[in-house]
Amino acid sequence: MATYIIGDLQGCFDPLLQLLQQLNYNIATDELWFVGDIVNRGPQSLECLRFVKKVVEAGRGRMVLGNHDFHLLAQAAGLERFRSRKDTLQPILEAPDRDALIDWLRQQPLLVRHPVYPAVMVHAGIPPQWNHSEAAAHADEVHDVLRSSDWRVFVREHLFGSEPTCWSDALQGWDRLRYIVNAFCRMRYCDADGCLEFKAKGKPGSQPPGYQPWFVHPNRRNKDIAIFFGHWSTLGAFDGYNVHALDTGCLWGGQLSAWRLEDGTRHTLQCPQTLQPGKA
Ligand SMILES: [Mn+2]
């Protein structure tokens, strides 16, 4: 019996199956947690989404939403802007089970807390100014809207954009929800005031002056709980400051990573260089 927390799939389904085989994964006894970005850019987004849905619906795993999963929801809700040539979402949008997949995906959370261990999973991180219960409450604010009939309006018209970058308890409405999604799903660096920066995507050391990885902020109020996240492929397999980074860039020819929660061990599979479109 084991719980594996698995890094960003981004449509890399064959590597997932190989990793699970390497782990002797058994759906009847093991749990799989996915850090989000299940879909997009890789070749088998539809297969990944169907698989994760099956595992979660069987009560044998959890997932959190990543920025690419939100991108899929926005496309499914009819947003034409922000469509990219690199997107590989069309097989999902044209699938016979499309409505069931989208309807299920939009009801997934932004934060999952382990029922026993002091551990949480998010896609990109938790802003320094939120303790873990505040973070869970803010994640629920978005979760509630995504489960409501307002979900299409939210993802189509109010989700995209990088403002506001600074949190305030006084934030309201769509701005508040947009900040919460951006923080959980896109954050890498923040400044001394905990304000977020979304342009820098490189590894630590490459960011603009005055910014640091969100998890090294000295007054971070969520240091007391282990945080598992993905999203930051250039950071790689980082373990420190009570955080564990799991996006090791399978899509880019790096590895697919799994963390076994019970004994705190990392497991990796080397991915091929040919997973992005045009590289096959
Ligand atoms: Mn991401």
What CATH topology corresponds to 3-270? Answer: Purple Acid Phosphatase; chain A, domain 2 (3.60.21)
Q: Which of 123, 122, 100, 111 is nearest to 50 (CA)?
A: 100
CA of 50 to the centre of ligand 1 (A): 19
What value does the mean pLDDT of the chain take? 96
Task: Please list, residue by residue across 71-92, b when 16 or more beta carbons sit within 10 angstroms of its beta carbon and e when fewer do.
Answer: bbbbbbbebeeeeeeebbbebb
CA of 186 to the centre of ligand 1 (A): 6
CA of 65 to the centre of ligand 1 (A): 9
pLDDT in tens, 118-146: 999 999 999 999 999 999 999 999 999 99
Q: How far apart are CA 2 and CA 159, in angstroms?
A: 36
pLDDT in tens, 253-277: 999 999 999 999 999 999 999 877 6
CA of 230 to the centre of ligand 1 (A): 7
State phi, psi for 65 to the nearest 5 degrees: -80, 135
pLDDT in tens, 203-224: 999 999 999 999 999 999 999 9
pLDDT reported for residue 48: 98
CA of 178 to the centre of ligand 1 (A): 15
């998010």: which residue's tokens?
122
CA of 250 to the centre of ligand 1 (A): 13
CA of 48 to the centre of ligand 1 (A): 15
CA of 123 to the centre of ligand 1 (A): 7
pLDDT reported for residue 166: 97
10: region left, alpha or beta (phi > 0 left; psi from -120 to 50 alpha)? left
CA of 170 to the centre of ligand 1 (A): 27
Cβ-Cβ contacts under 8 Å for 137 (sequence gap 6 or more):
none
Read off the amino acid at residue 102.
I
Tokens of 77: 């809700």
pLDDT in tens, 143-163: 999 999 999 999 999 999 999
CA of 37 to the centre of ligand 1 (A): 6
Cβ pair 15, 51 in contact under 8 A: no
pLDDT reported for residue 43: 95
Question: What are the boundaries of each domain within the chain?
Answer: 3-270
CA of 117 to the centre of ligand 1 (A): 25
